[in-house]
Amino acid sequence: MPTTPPLAGGTTGPAALRPLLDTVLAALHDGATLRDGPLPAGGPETVAPRTRAAAHPLLPDHGVGPHHALTTLVTALAAGAADPAHPHCTAHLHTPPLALAAAADLAASALNPSMDSWDQAPAASTLEAGLTAALAAEIYPHTPSPDALITTGGTEANQLALLLARERHGPVQTICGANAHHSIARAAWLLGLPEPVTVPAPHGTLDPAALDAALTELHRPHLVVATAGTTDTGAIDPLDTIADLCTTHGAELHIDAAYGGPLLLSPTHRTLLHGLHRAHSVTLDLHKLGWQPASAGLLAVPDHHHLTPLHHHAPYLNADDDTEAGLPDLLGRSLRTTRRPDALKIAVTLRALGRDGLADLVDRTLAAAHRLADLVTTTPGLDLYDRPTISTVLFRPTGADDHTVATVRRTLLHRGHAVLGRAHAADRLWFKATLLNPHTTPQDLRALLDLVTHAATELLTHPTATTGAPHPTESDTPR
């Protein structure tokens, strides 16, 4: 007869967790040692069968026991990970989480409060309310009762922003730049709104003259979406100018600051977000430039009454007499029902590091991006797209075509040497390095560029040589 496994909560939970955590930590170390780089070598055709073998069978007739299962699967996952803590893993807005935030997330998992009713999350609901009010006040320092909702990320936050605008004005016409995140068009589709009007962003940022023309021509309620930190280049739209145009034309403004929003925490860089407070809603992600384990998104509004349309009634969660008796009603805090207490890890981070500690992380990360840009400009055979606005650097080998850039990127992935992103700008394909690791050193950056130049030289010198990378797809070839 199998024994009943222990639970994570209660007074006995910590004692049950401790030896399991030792096993997990050892497996994380061993897996990272086996990987020995930013990602495993060999590509999908190597990683997939190795992972499947470690997990087989996933549902055995008789269990192998907790330590064996943890050792096998955690080691396999770590060995097969793209590790954002490695300085050469720079492709995406994929942050290396702080150890203290990950530790707090363990506590959230062990306690497992669900944020859809007070009787499931008495303390967590209080903590979340305080955290969201405090973060909203950072964005809206001059309004008396700003508020924010915790979301799964920028996609959910942007969808909520369009939903709230629709509830205020009916089928609003969204207007965004060609640089806007893909979630804007998707949210409009999901909500049954007209397809967004897209205005040009010829230099990576929304063109105010084109926006003015669009607002003049259209005759229905408008929601303009500006971006503070694009996924391709990290560019920030001219927020104040856009807010002025919205005021002139009677349009509402949503700012997607999923990437750039945490610049508010840095006295050195917060001026890049001047005008942010003029938006009717703001998206912010702390699992990007906030070093939180996913997920840790927010949607902020200047007045808590703006969230009223989200109120929902389910008698088993927020019965009227319970609410009248003083139990907080949590259902209007999300479109989700069951949801994790993501406020805990964020609150622990803010309390532990304070404003100066968080500002230091932001400043270090942006300084690393500028160092990388400097290295690119002084490295023969490499071209820089532009100076970084936040922490994204685009570069490419001088004279290379797009096919070469794409192939070099896949070669580095296949060899397990580097995880670089790809972005189209100025009608060309570029390597994208999104720096989010505040521990990255100049030596790390120099080594990254050496890997790129070596692979590019190898390919250009011996174009028929086997690089270990898969053949380019049609979408990677020049048109």
Q: Strand pairing of 197-199 and 281-285?
A: unpaired
pLDDT at position 220, please?
A: 82
Summarised one tens digit per residue, pLDDT across range 56-111 is 999 999 999 999 999 999 999 999 999 999 999 999 999 999 999 999 999 999 99
pTM: 0.95
The count of other CB atoms within 10 Å of the CB of residue 377 is 12
Summarised one tens digit per residue, pLDDT across range 432-456 is 999 999 999 999 999 999 999 999 9
SS3 for 138-197 is: HHCCCCCCCEEEEECCHHHHHHHHHHHHHHHHCCCEEEEECCCCHHHHHHHHHCCCCCCE
Q: Does 311 have pLDDT greater than 50?
A: yes
Q: Which helix (H) or strand (E) holds 199?
A: strand 197-199
Those residues whose C-beta lies under 8 Å from the C-beta of residue 265, and which sit 6 or more positions away, are 138, 355, 358, 359, 362
**What is the side-by-side strand order in the sheet with 421-425?**
382-384, 392-397, 428-434, 421-425
Q: Does 15 have pLDDT greater than 50?
A: yes
CA distance 167 to 282: 17
Summarised one tens digit per residue, pLDDT across range 368-400 is 999 999 999 999 999 999 999 999 999 999 999
Cα distances from 331 to residues 285, 310, 338, 435, in angstroms, run 22, 8, 10, 37
The burial of 303, by beta-carbon neighbours within 10 Å (0-12 exposed, 13-18 middle, 19 or more buried), is given as middle
Tokens of 327: 């139990």
Q: Strand pairing of 173-177 and 197-199?
A: parallel
Buried b / exposed e across 12-36, counting CB within 10 Å, b at 16+? eeeebbeeeeebbeebbeebbeebe
CA distance 387 to 369: 9
CA torsion 31-35-41-45 (nearest 10°) is 0
Q: Does 154 have pLDDT greater than 90?
A: yes
**φ and ψ of 157, to 5 deg:** -65, -45
CA angle 391, 393, 396 (to 5 degrees): 170
Contact (CB, 8 A) for 317 and 116: yes
Confidence class of residue 475 from pLDDT cuts 50, 70 and 90? very low
Q: Does 463 have pLDDT greater than 80?
A: no
Tokens of 465: 């040589």
pLDDT at position 248, please?
A: 96
Q: Which of 19-28, 206-215, 462-471 has the lowest mean pLDDT?
A: 462-471
3 state SS of 219: coil
The count of other CB atoms within 10 Å of the CB of residue 73 is 16
pLDDT at position 465, please?
A: 55
The count of other CB atoms within 10 Å of the CB of residue 414 is 19
- Give the closest residue to 472 by CA, choosing from 422, 437, 433: 422
CA distance 364 to 437: 9
Q: Does 1 have pLDDT greater than 70?
A: no
pLDDT at position 22, please?
A: 98
Those residues whose C-beta lies under 8 Å from the C-beta of residue 96, and which sit 6 or more positions away, are 83, 84, 85, 291, 436, 437
First-to-last alpha carbon distance for the chain, in angstroms, is 65
Average pLDDT over residues 131-140: 98
Average pLDDT over residues 23-45: 97
Work out the mean pLDDT of the chain and round it to a whole number.
95
pLDDT at position 460, please?
A: 84
Instruction: Answer positive or negative: Cα dihedral of 432, 189, 243, 245.
Output: positive
Average pLDDT over residues 18-40: 98
pLDDT at position 464, please?
A: 64
Q: Long-range contacts made by residues 398-404, C-beta under 8 angstroms, separation at least 24?
A: 400/456, 400/460, 401/478, 402/428, 402/429, 402/476, 402/477, 402/478, 403/472, 403/476, 403/477, 403/478, 404/456, 404/459, 404/460
Q: Does 474 have pLDDT greater than 50?
A: no
Q: Residue type at 139?
A: I
Average pLDDT over residues 159-181: 97
Q: Does 461 have pLDDT greater than 90?
A: no
CA distance 137 to 149: 13
**Lookup result for tokens 């280049």:** 233
Q: Residue type at 312?
A: H
